[in-house]
Amino acid sequence: MRHLKTLQCIADVATSGSIRQSAARLAITPSALTRKIQDFESELGTPIFERMPQGMRLNAAGELVLRHIRAQLADFERLRSQLADLSGVRRGHVTIAASQAFAHGLIPHEIAAYRAQHPLVSFSVLVRDHIHAVSAVAGFEADVALVIAPPPAPEFQPLLILHQPLCALMSKDHPLASARTIRLRECLQYPIAMPGPTLAIRHLLQAALVRLGLPVHTVVESDSFEILRSYASGENIISFQIRAGVPEASGNLVAREIDQRDLPPTQLVLGQLRGRSLSVAASKFVDQISSSLHSRYGDGTTG
Amino acid sequence: MRHLKTLQCIADVATSGSIRQSAARLAITPSALTRKIQDFESELGTPIFERMPQGMRLNAAGELVLRHIRAQLADFERLRSQLADLSGVRRGHVTIAASQAFAHGLIPHEIAAYRAQHPLVSFSVLVRDHIHAVSAVAGFEADVALVIAPPPAPEFQPLLILHQPLCALMSKDHPLASARTIRLRECLQYPIAMPGPTLAIRHLLQAALVRLGLPVHTVVESDSFEILRSYASGENIISFQIRAGVPEASGNLVAREIDQRDLPPTQLVLGQLRGRSLSVAASKFVDQISSSLHSRYGDGTTG
DNA sequence: TCTGGTGTTGCCCCAATTGCAACACGGCGA
DNA sequence: TCGCCGTGTTGCAATTGGGGCAACACCAGA
């Protein structure tokens, strides 16, 4: 879009921190980009970048401007989506920031279901921990976020809250696999594939372990659920995952809920930036994922 | 601002309904304006205007676009205000839609007090009845609205609600001027200068008169409080006004509250568009007017 | 049918934007 | 200390995009 091009350039330079780099990506010359920024700054009456020998960095005014630009671009996307909906076709782009727990089963499944009905809607999935997922939403980088135990933030508006038990992941031949729910103590009699410290459930586990004073035999620690799953399915190792993060068809992997006396249910929250109105495409995707989660796991409360 | 110029042109054409007229106002030729709009439409992929022999009219998509444009322009104003605040000076423009009741005393007084501290902030005052004041806020034409008994609208977010008695306006020599509060019945023994049907208090009065079954001797009816006031101060005629709309220093005019058994207190509401964030200038003006009204008339509740 | 209103189009021109190349400056390693 | 490579910036020339002028097509009302 013509009238947004300058804004996009500025946003790009702000994130890359380099004019030459952005110029290459935007397929223009550095000189043109420099002048675009200079013109914008002079129109605004204030510099928005600090010129460092290493490149460009936003100053305080620039942070404000960047936020404004992101909002403008997102709002324009919303307009396009609304216009497309007017003519009967749903069109648009949805960016969702999700905890890694959902990157394997839930998110691709929901996106596939949505795109089956609305093939002109495209998606971006940002895998972020709960902190960064919330700030992605706050910074207009993502439309919505699906996270575990989000940090309390006034600008993050929950659209759906589920309370989910943590599950132990294990091979279906595992001695514990016959039980319906198991105690944390039982798990710890086996080697553990421990979620890394960037994963939200790590902290929940940690807190419970400290509280119960139980020793842990960690054989592997990883930030990747992919890794954890493969360990859990291969040996008699146990790993952990939130209920909704357990893939439906998971080979010889089974999930058993941890007794809630050991680990209280965890909040699973789907949310957006407070006060922001989503595009039609995004808003309908929220509806779908909400009703899907709600019907599958119940206990949903909208707020 | 360069990148907003096309948007402003479109907004102008949308309101004027005529390319030639807008072209004259914007100091460009009609041909240039036509092409601007055509380019925008082709970029968007949809026409946003219907070309009629009488001029241009927005279609459904255009209504969406206009709303988007107004939002963008308002948001940019907010950015400028924030940037100015960064450098210590408050700067910006505030548009307030107010009932005519406040056009004489309250609004100019508050604006003067504000501008005494922040002379770089400018104001627009739109005098509108309660319906149109609310829709001005909803359509991004005004930042805030100060109205009597606003119609219920989900997108209108009250920032301050006062409950105000209606007052009878009369000369200070008037027989009723000695009383503290008076009954509606007493007023009607005198000739009445009746607010016109576009004024909100007319409907309140009307309802009470019908309920009490009282006959009215209307000598003049006017949509202008200016007119009503001059009648009330000149002869022994009585007119009406909401408490906060009574000018402080009003010559030989006095205001006496109507007994609340006859006329229940009226809502006086200061509000904005729900979910919209105001510019620094506007937000601080809201603070000032809120605390001013609150301390003068009490009974304020924020919601 | 004529007149006055509308928006639109072809052509021309000017000005704003871009690209290329050279520049100035700062960090870093030899 | 010097040279190199990185950064952003500037002069000048080429190009593009936007604007003005005049003529056009269309429609409503007299």
What's the CATH code of the domain at A26? 1.10.10.10
Q: Across the strands, what pairs with A6?
A: none
Sequence-ordered list of residues with C-beta below 8 angstroms from that of A5, at least 6 positions apart, any chain: none
Question: Residue A301: how many CB atoms within 10 A of its CB?
Answer: 10
Rounded to a whole number, what is the distance in angstroms from the first to the last CA of chain B?
36
Distance CA B277, CA A155 (A): 12
Q: Which two tokens stand for residue B243?
A: 């408490």
| Averaged pLDDT, A169-174 | 89
Q: What is the pLDDT of residue B299?
A: 55
Q: What is the pLDDT of residue A118?
A: 93
What pLDDT digit, counting tens, does each position of A195-215 carry? Answer: 988 888 898 898 888 888 888
Contact status, residue B201 vs residue B99, Cβ threshold 8 Å: no
Q: Across the strands, what pairs with A148?
A: A268
Residue type present at position B153: A
The β-bridge relationship of strands B266-273 and B144-148 is antiparallel
Distance CA B143, CA B135 (A): 11
Residues A197, A233, single domain; the answer is yes
| Triad B248, B249, B254: Cα angle to 5° | 80
Distance CA B22, CA B19 (A): 5
- Nearest chain B residue to A8, by CA: B3
Distance CA A266, CA B188 (A): 68
Query: Which of the 28-67 residues on chain A come under 7 Å of nucleic strand D at their beta carbon?
Result: 30-31, 34-35, 37-38, 51, 53-56
Contact status, residue B258 vs residue B203, Cβ threshold 8 Å: no
Chain B residues closer than 8 Å to A42 by CB: none
DSSP A243: G
Q: Is residue A57 part of a domain?
A: yes
Distance CA B2, CA B8 (A): 10
Q: Across the strands, what pairs with B158?
A: B271
Contact B39 A2 (CB under 8 A): yes
Residues B28, B100, single domain; the answer is no
| Averaged pLDDT, A105-134 | 92
Contact B75 A83 (CB under 8 A): no
Q: How far in angstroms lies nucleotide C29's C1' from the CA of residue A6?
A: 38
Residues B2, B72, single domain; the answer is yes
Nucleotides, chain C, CB distance < 7 Å: 5-10, 17-22, 25-27
Query: Which of the 253-282 residues on chain B come under 7 Å of nucleic strand C at their beta carbon?
Result: none
| Averaged pLDDT, A163-190 | 90
Residues A249, A104, single domain; the answer is no
CA distances from A41 to A45, A52, B7, B49 (A): 6, 17, 20, 34
Q: What is the pLDDT of residue A212?
A: 85
Q: Identify the three-state secondary structure at position B151.
A: coil
Q: Is residue A112 part of a domain?
A: yes
Q: What is the pLDDT of residue B163?
A: 93
What's the CATH code of the domain at B248? 3.40.190.10
Question: Which ranges of chain A does DSSP label H, i.e. alpha helix?
Answer: 5-16, 19-26, 30-44, 60-86, 106-117, 130-138, 184-187, 200-212, 225-234, 280-297
Q: Which two tokens stand for residue B242?
A: 């909401």
Q: Is residue B67 part of a domain?
A: yes
Considering all nucleic acid strands, name the nucleotide whose C1' atom is nearest to the C-alpha of residue B13: C7
Give the one of A44, A75, A86 whose C-beta lies nearest to B83's C-beta.
A44
The residue whose two tokens read 């504000």 is: B114
Q: What is the pLDDT of residue B301?
A: 44
Q: Is residue B302 part of a domain?
A: no
Residues A158, A187, single domain; the answer is no
Q: Which two tokens stand for residue B175?
A: 């027989």
Chain A residues closer than 8 Å to B76 by CB: 68
Considering all nucleic acid strands, name the nucleotide whose C1' atom is nearest to the C-alpha of residue B52: C6
Distance CA B278, CA B206 (A): 36
Contact B83 A46 (CB under 8 A): yes
Q: Is residue A83 part of a domain?
A: no
Q: Is residue A23 part of a domain?
A: yes
Q: What is the pLDDT of residue B300?
A: 41
Q: How far in angstroms lies nucleotide C8's C1' from the CA of residue A118?
A: 38
Q: How far in angstroms lies nucleotide D22's C1' from the CA of residue A166?
A: 77
Q: How far in angstroms lies nucleotide C15's C1' from the CA of residue A47?
A: 25
What pLDDT digit, counting tens, does each position of A206-246 carry? Answer: 888 888 888 888 988 888 888 888 888 877 899 999 989 88
* Closest protein residue to C24 (Cα–C1'): A53
What pLDDT digit, counting tens, does each position of A261-277 carry? Answer: 999 899 999 999 998 88
Range of the domain at A15: 2-64
A122: nearest Cα among A84, A156, A158: A84
Residue type present at position A11: A
Q: What is the pLDDT of residue A302?
A: 41
Q: Is residue B303 part of a domain?
A: no
Last residue of a domain, one of A46, A64, A82: A64
Distance CA A42, CA B14 (A): 30
Distance CA A286, CA A145 (A): 10
Q: What is the pLDDT of residue A301?
A: 44
Q: What is the pLDDT of residue A170?
A: 92
Chain B residues closer than 8 Å to A279 by CB: none
Residues B156, B279, single domain; the answer is yes
The residue whose two tokens read 């949310």 is: A271
Report chain B (303 residues): mean pLDDT per 10 consecutive residues. 91 93 91 94 92 90 94 94 90 92 90 93 91 92 93 93 92 86 90 89 89 86 87 85 83 88 92 91 94 80 40
Q: In what order do the strands lie in the sheet with A181-182?
A: A181-182, A253-258, A166-171, A239-242
Residues B188, B69, single domain; the answer is no
Burial of A223 from C-beta contacts in 10 A (0-12 / 13-18 / 19+): middle
Q: How far in angstroms lies nucleotide D14's C1' from the CA of residue A42?
A: 26
Q: What is the pLDDT of residue B110?
A: 94
Residue A53: pLDDT band with limits 50, 70, 90: confident
Q: What is the pLDDT of residue B302?
A: 41
Residues A151, A271, single domain; the answer is yes
SS3 sequence of B230-280: HHHHHCCCEEEEEHHHCCCCCCCEEEEEECCCCCCCEEEEEEEECCCCCCH
DSSP A249: S
B16 touches strand C (CB under 7 A): no
Sequence-ordered list of residues with C-beta below 8 angstroms from that of B138, at least 6 positions apart, any chain: B153, B155, B156, B273
Sequence-ordered list of residues with C-beta below 8 angstroms from that of A28, at least 6 positions apart, any chain: none
Chain B residues closer than 8 Å to A3 by CB: 3-4, 6-7
Residues A142, A200, single domain; the answer is no
B58 touches strand C (CB under 7 A): no
Last residue of a domain, one of A30, A47, A64: A64
Contact B82 A75 (CB under 8 A): no
Q: Which two tokens stand for residue A123?
A: 């998606």
Residue A42: pLDDT band with limits 50, 70, 90: very high
Q: In what order do the strands lie in the sheet with B181-182?
A: B181-182, B253-258, B166-171, B239-242
Crossing angle of the two packed helices B60-86 and A60-86, in degrees rounded to 10: 170
At B122, phi and psi to the nearest 5?
-110, 160
Q: What is the pLDDT of residue A219?
A: 87
Sign of CA dihedral A9, A14, A19, A21: negative
Q: Identify the three-state secondary structure at position A223.
A: coil
Contact A71 B75 (CB under 8 A): yes
Distance CA B96, CA A190 (A): 69
A101: nearest Cα among A36, A37, A196: A196
Residues A221, A271, single domain; the answer is no
Q: Is residue A71 part of a domain?
A: no
* Tally of domains in chain B: 3
Last residue of a domain, one of B69, B89, B109: B89
Residue A303: pLDDT band with limits 50, 70, 90: very low
Residues B59, B202, single domain; the answer is no
Contact status, residue A100 vs residue A131, Cβ threshold 8 Å: no
Distance CA A47, CA A61 (A): 8
Give the one of B6, B61, B82 whose C-beta lies nearest to A3's C-beta.
B6
Residues A117, A135, single domain; the answer is yes
